[in-house]
Each structure stands twice: as structure tokens, then as C-alpha cells.
Amino acid sequence: MLSHVRFGGKADIDSQLAVMQQHGTGTIWYGWRSFWGRAMRRREILTLLGGAAMILPAAAGAAGAFPNRPIRLIVPYPPGGGTDIVGRVLGDKLRASLGQPIVIDNRGGAGGMLGTELAAKAAPDGYTLLLAPTSHVINPSIYAKLPYDTVKDFAPITMVASASILMAVNPRVPATTVRGFVEAAKADPKSLANYGSAGVGTVFHLTGQLFNELTGLALQHVPYRGGGPTVTALLAGEVPLAFETTLSLQPHVRAGTLRALAITSPKRSATMPEIPDTAEAGYPQLVAENSYALFAPAGAPAPILERLHEATVTALALPDVRDKLRDQGAEVVGNSSAELAAYIATEVPKWAALARKAGVKPE
């Protein structure tokens, strides 16, 4: 701004002052006439300019404290599913923690890959975040070539929450237990021929494949673009069975529009204690849960990541956040970024082994 300013006589300074005032820097020269009256030397003017050059960047830095504009939170699934529910509960409280709006950007499709790729390629400035479910660590085993690196392209912030998975059926299905469903499916394989999930490579998809393996069934997988569309399809009877989080299914089970057969957990859920766990149902190996983790694009500055972690953990510690998520069947986690990184490192090979065991080949 100031590098082009040259000084000659008084008229020249008048002219330059007018230019500088147009750019908002004229106040630096307040009282210039008294300086002129004392015949300020050129060296003194340049010294003053040097001081101004130091002041202006400092002021700009203070104005740019993070965050100073809205933050986009990418949810790689459509509205209505578990990831979307967790994202909206978190986003509402992060707004208060960070002092800026959190814009939920639902980008569903391809088992969560579309939204995840968008986040991976965003500027690493802290203004784009990703809330990814367990499919984030499963997709490397499902797709032969991902448009991003699950580990290298993301900076872990914290695990937000984890939720149990419900095995639920349309009320027209003549079964009230897991064993009852298995018997009915074997007796009438045409009517009970498939199951729905939030997409290829999701934890729900692999849970269904594991269910096939454990029961000897051959249910065909019907992938949808997220938990919301899956629940809609199950309600409509497009599929007789679906695996989804308690976050998505609990309201419909409570209303009687869907029937829960079991929860894929070693123990019953505190929020739905009436639903038997899969061990009680006779399938102790059918255990899975969906976790929701917060990431930034790799390369985000450490101070910004620390600020985001602090704000997120603060939000998760609020009683109403814990209550809202627990009411939906999810438990708050809020661990360290190092713990989340360790989780990613162990979960990727774990799900790869399960995918191979379930006979799922990379596409």
C-alpha cells in the first residue's frame, strides 16, 4: 500500500496524502503540517513509514484470529442418518464455542467417498471439517482405488461419539427375533431376499455380510446413499431388513413403524434396554458399532487444530449434548487427536480382515 508513495514538495505531499486517505492510511499522517513546518528530512519520513509498515501487518494479524468466518462441516451422507444427526448436534454447540456459524454440508454418495474427497482437497485452513463415520476406515478395504489417502490426507481432531447398530425389520416381516428372521428367510427366500444399508463399504454393509456368514443366509445387499434413505426404504417395505444406528432407527421403533430384533453389541443399550443384544439372540460374534470422528484436511496449522479440539471437547462435555446423543443411542467420546490417530491405524487393518472374511472384494 505504501511502497509507491514518493515525496517532493508540499504540493506533492498534499497529493499523496489524498491518495493515502482513500486507502484508509491517511491517519498515519495526521499532523503532517506541523512536521512540514519543521522541515522534516526525507530520512525521518522514511523512518515513519517503516514504523507504519510494522503496525499495519500486526493489526491485520490480530483481525485474522481463528475463526473469523463461518466453518463448513462436511457430512458425507444425506440428511436424516446417524452422521447427520451427530453433526447437527455438534455444530449447534460449536457455534457457541467458536463464535462462528457451523454450516452443515451434506454430500452423500459412493459410501461416503464423495464428501470425504471434497474435504481432503479443501484448503487446510480450519474452515472445512469432515465428520466421518466408521466407513472412513472401511472404504480402503472396499474400493481398489480411493481418490484420497485415509491416513495421510486428514488431520485427526477427536472422536465425537459412537453408536450401537440396530438390526430392524419392516413390521410386515413375520419375525420378532433374530432366529425367527433366519428361519423365515430360509423358509421364504424370495420374500426375505435382501437387506439395506447406507452404502457399499459402510459398517452396516459389512455387518450384514457378517450376518450372512454367521447364519448361512445369502441376503443380497441393497446400498442406499445414507442412513436417511435406508430408513425410508425400510419403512416403505423396499427392503425387509436393515442395519442402521440407533440414532436413525430408535424414533421409528418407538413409534411402532419399525421392529428392532437386536442390537449388535455385547450388552444391551442403556437407551433401549428392552432390545436384546446379539449375544442373547444367539449370535455373539455379530458385534459392530458406528463411530463418528472429526477431521480437518492434512496440513492445517497446529494452533488451529488445537483450537478446534478444545472447542469440540468443550461442546461435547455439555450435559445437554451428552443427553441428546444418549437419547438417540450414542455415547460421547471426545478423546485426544493422538488417540483418534491410533484408532485409525488399528481399525483400517481390522476391517480389511473382516471384509476378506466376509468375501467382500474391492470394487
Kindly list the structural domains of the chain, giving each domain's residue range(s) and its CATH number in brackets, ordered by start.
10-63 (no CATH), 71-162+292-357 (3.40.190.150), 164-263 (3.40.190.10)
* Residue with the larger pLDDT of the pair 63 and 118: 118
* Residue with the larger pLDDT of the pair 296 and 21: 296
Average pLDDT over residues 64-90: 92
User: Residue 74: what pLDDT?
Assistant: 98
User: Residue 64: what pLDDT?
Assistant: 58
Helix (H, G, I), strand (E, B) or coil at 318: coil
- Residue 31 in this model has a pLDDT that exceeds 50: no
Task: Please return the burial class of 180, using the count of CB atoms within 10 Å of its CB with bins 0-12, 13-18 and 19+.
Answer: middle
Q: Cα dihedral angle (169, 175, 179, 183), rounded to 10 degrees?
A: -110
* Residue with the larger pLDDT of the pair 109 and 230: 230
What phi, psi does 273 have (nearest 5°)?
-65, -15
Average pLDDT over residues 232-257: 95
pLDDT tens for 258-289 read 999 999 988 888 888 999 999 999 999 998 88
Q: H or E segment at 230? A: helix 227-236
User: Residue 358: what pLDDT?
Assistant: 67
Mean pLDDT over each residue of the chain, to the nearest integer: 84
What phi, psi does 301 have (nearest 5°)?
-60, 145
Q: How many helices (H) and strands (E) does the chain have?
A: 13, 10
